[in-house]
Amino acid sequence: MNQENVLEFNRVTKRYDNVCLNLSLQVPRGYITGFVGANGAGKTTTLRLALGLAHPDSREVTKLDHNQVGVVFDTPHYPDNLRLGQLSGQVANFYTNWD
């Protein structure tokens, strides 16, 4: 991985049903990157792969540091394996007045 890139996909593939995403991408340090495309083009899947919320079927996603990748989804995405109390505890870490 080039040390100037904070995120790299090198021919990463992810398959869902009858859809196959094949992706190569480099995000340089200091850049803000947006994804624009039609429904089903792979935008959300790409972000889920970058965050480790999904795992590629081949190759791997390389990132310098997990804390250097931030995402704002248009709808909330919560890990399926967390209970409400666990999720609340994670959210509380970001908000000092969380109750």
What would the pLDDT profile of 23-77 be if each residue is shown by its tens digit?
999 988 888 888 899 988 888 889 888 888 888 999 888 877 656 666 777 777 7
Distances, alpha carbon 70 to alpha carbons 7, 16, 84, 97, in Å: 11, 24, 23, 22
3-state SS assignment for residue 98:
coil
Answer with the residue of higher pLDDT: 96 or 7.
7
Answer with the residue of higher pLDDT: 37 or 1.
37
C-alpha 26/C-alpha 5 separation (Å) is: 6
CATH 3.40.50.300 fits 5-92, yes or no: yes
Left (φ > 0), alpha (ψ -120 to 50) or beta: where does 60 sit?
A: beta
pLDDT at 63: 77
Q: What is the DSSP letter of 62?
A: E
pTM value is: 0.66
The residues near 22 (Cβ < 8 Å, ≥ 6 apart) are 11, 12, 13
